[in-house]
Structure 1
């Protein structure tokens, strides 16, 4: 029979006290970090957060993508992307709480569970950062361009103002909004953005119908050479991939929904995703198909630029875009803020504070603004980022994690579905950056910095 002396009792008591202090410190940090600080979201929060994340500036480039893909391949790729990304989004929602008593609140946490602590980080974090920072940069450019288009439409006789200044004006609101602490605190901004996305998409296709099919419309490929047509095709694949980009923040959105063993978060989250995907279909398909039908291969890489009249409608649509990308920027910036703030307080042992948050977030907004001002190649950026980063995190990384964790029976329906998505996603990842990089190079030939 073992005996326990007073020394052992004191030692156990001290250990217990240390554990309690560590747990209290961890809880305090989790309550401060943006992703885990608030878990009282409703299912409709999921709906409009997902719409805001998904239906971004990419919808405006879909008619241009159709012009480079052609009718047959274009329709197939649009529909296939909608189906594949809905399937992979369902997988993400299911995997959020696959381990009883544990929630994977961040994309990289799920990656670490699937691939191991270190390898999971190396695989997921770089891709997620490229996607989220890339979207924020592209939205800086989009917001600036839409503000400039609004100004030029409303006041055509006014003095021309550089795009640089409009990007700065757009960035100025983010120096304020970025200090909202977490996802639930930006729900109002996100709701406004979701409504705006449906509004400007409707304006895009309705104004196109009003214009009617243009004289001498041409549905052939835009490029004159075969090589040019092939590379434009690759760029268009990236544009489509960029349009379906909500997966990078889906676990973070689901983390804000309360969960119990009886009522797991996947129920309300999936309901929100279904509503979001119906809205996505209502935005994407009419804009892509009607825009291409009306303008053919002469359509611009932003459908609103092709629609010059009526001026008040175009001005209004551009302001809708501005409001929407304000919300989208915040949705994609929040996980980046979470990563940066986690690094500062957990790894570098900074004290969680308002001043730390103020410095980190302002520096991030300034970085995305400066990069957007320096490289405002809208179409090329969509193609490059769309293929290089969105294809893995949206089209096939969820499938690889599903295979690694659930290990479905070989040659079963689940096994085939995942492998088909992986192969198609790999093809997309390899081909589309080639076209996007070419577009950037062509744009850069005639571009002067900060003009």
Structure 2
């Protein structure tokens, strides 16, 4: 009495599985799995080589030659290792793919604890980066305008440039998944290498300042301590690509014979070579040329030639357009997952249009309200960028391999 035939249970289960598969096929992270290895290369370059590279000479001025070089090299090696761990863990359970950072966290730490450990930090990183890039994009547009006009044009407030930059994202944010933004990401990756080359090339051309000073920027002990930790945060921000690596790998096809980790790792190696070509010359040559007089954005220190600085700033704009989309896509995935799976909204174009437009508008509003948001990078670097980049993946590896396998 009151029991349902087994076939009814089976039918209901099949319907639920079919619905979940349909939702997964619609969500941005899992909707397309036909990416090539070079997609992962330029996605990772775009995610990692952000405008933060331009602040590395400033970080060097807070650290000094010895500690600065050590931090750069150690960060490159450690983050490459932790990224390798994540690539390996993507398919550590036979027949299952951890397509999202929090899914791996849940496997390692448990369903609820994994969410609480990973999701807040991941959101801080991704939303924080999006806000910073709103500000950076607006500032670079303004710098481009000011350099080109050379005082002959009417001064335009930063607010309007941020709004212009955001207008691009109201359109691009409607692209459904990672593979659909591959062209934008490729352009961004090329731009990052280009403006990094301009930054260190122009520094070489300008040469070392006559009164260059390599002493630490701060003169007091508290100032040196805060400067040191702020610089560590800036470096952590520069290596923040781990937050989207599993989501990028999720776009690569995988079979037992050809697991996704092989093409993904190939792309990562290429990306890290590009990272080294961008980071080390900019940091070391920029500091060599200007010492502790370097600005927090080396393009500001380099005032001439004007056409080259204008070009570099426009390259930064193009790059952060791509970077914004790379970091926004996992956030879109989280938002749409909650709306569809938890709140029961039907998946479709209308939901995507509204949710993504609201998100872009929110990041734009915060960027306009707090244009000094980039000054908080040191804090965010220490609070969220460093854990998710340097050691959360190692903890996940320990827990996953030793307690679950």
TM-score (norm 2): 0.97
Cα distance, 1:16 vs structure 2: 2.0
Superposed displacement of residue 9, structure 1? 12
Contact conserved, 1:138 with 1:381, CA < 8 A, in 2? no
Q: Which has the larger radius of gyration?
A: 1
Summarize the alignment of residues 409-428 of structure 1 with structure 2, pairs less than 5 Å apart.
none
Q: Using the alignment, how far apart are the partners of 1:112 and 1:225 within structure 2?
A: 45
Aligned match for 1:299, one of 294, 298, 320: 294
1:252-273 alpha-carbon deviations (Å, 9 max, x no partner): 0000000000100000000000
Deviations 1:199-235 (A, max 9, x none): 0000000001011111211111112222112211111
Partner Cα separation in structure 2 for residue 339 and residue 9 of structure 1: 37
User: 303, 311, 326: which is aligned to 1:308?
Assistant: 303
RMSD after superposition: 1.4
Task: Measure the CA separation in 2 of the matches of 1:60 and 1:40.
Answer: 34
Deviation >6 Å, runs of 4+: 7-10
- Corresponding residue to 1:18 among 6, 12, 19: 12
Cross-structure match for 1:185: 180
Which of these residues, 113, 116, 135, is aligned with residue 110 of structure 2? 116
1:140 aligns with 2:101: no
- C-alpha distance after superposition, 1:98-123 (max 9, x if no partner): 00000000000000000000000011
- Residue 357 of structure 1 aligns with which residue? 352
Preserved contact between residue 67 and residue 219 of structure 1 (Cα < 8 Å): yes
Aligned partners of 2:131 and 2:373 also within 8 Å? no
Question: Which of 222, 233, 239 in structure 1 is aligned with 2:234?
Answer: 239
Give SS of 2:224's match: helix
Q: 1:94 aligns with which of 88, 97, 100?
A: 88
Q: After superposition, what is the alpha-carbon deviation per residue over 1:27-69, rounded to whole angstroms, capped at 9, x for unaligned?
A: 1100110000000000000000000000001100000000010
CA deviations 1:353-398 (Å, max 9, x no partner) are: 1111111001100111111111122552221211111011000000
Alignment of 1:159-308 (within 5 A): 159-308=154-303
Where relative contact order (Cα < 8 A, 6+ residues apart) is larger, the structure is 2
- Which of 59, 69, 82 aligns to 2:63? It is 69
Q: Secondary structure at the match of 1:36?
A: coil
Per the alignment, in what secondary structure is the counterpart of residue 407 of structure 1? Answer: helix
Aligned partner of residue 86 in structure 2, secondary structure: helix
Q: What is aligned with 1:335? A: 330
Distance in 1 separating the partners of 2:5 and 2:316 = 62
Q: Which residue of 344, 347, 362 corresponds with 2:342?
A: 347
**Among residues 91, 99, 106, which one is paired with 1:105 in the alignment?**
99
Is the CA contact 2:43–2:185 (under 8 Å) kept in the aligned structure 1? yes
Q: Which secondary structure does the structure 2 equivalent of 1:98 belong to?
A: coil
How far apart, CA to CA, are the structure 1 residues paired with 2:2 and 2:342?
Answer: 33
- Cα distance 1:9–1:130, how it changes in 2: closer, same or farther (>3 A)? closer
For residue 156 of structure 2, give the secondary structure of its aligned residue in structure 1. Answer: coil
Post-superposition offset of 1:8: 12
Aligned residues: 402
Rounded to whole Å, the distance in 2 between the matches of 1:138 and 1:397 is 23
Compute the displacement of 1:21 (Å): 0.9
Structure 2 residue aligned with 1:32: 26
**Counterpart of 1:4?**
none
| SS across alignment from 1:300 | coil
Supply the distance in 1 between the matched residues of 2:98 and 2:281 (Cα, whole angstroms). 36
Conserved in 2, the CA contact under 8 Å of 1:32 and 1:352? yes
Cα pair distance change 1:8/1:225, threshold 3 Å: closer
* 1:51 pairs with one of 37, 45, 48: 45
CA distance in 2 between counterparts of 1:324 and 1:149 reads: 15
- Give the corresponding residue for 1:429: none
Question: Per-residue CA shift, 1:132-161, capped at 9, x if unaligned?
Answer: 000000000110110011000000121211
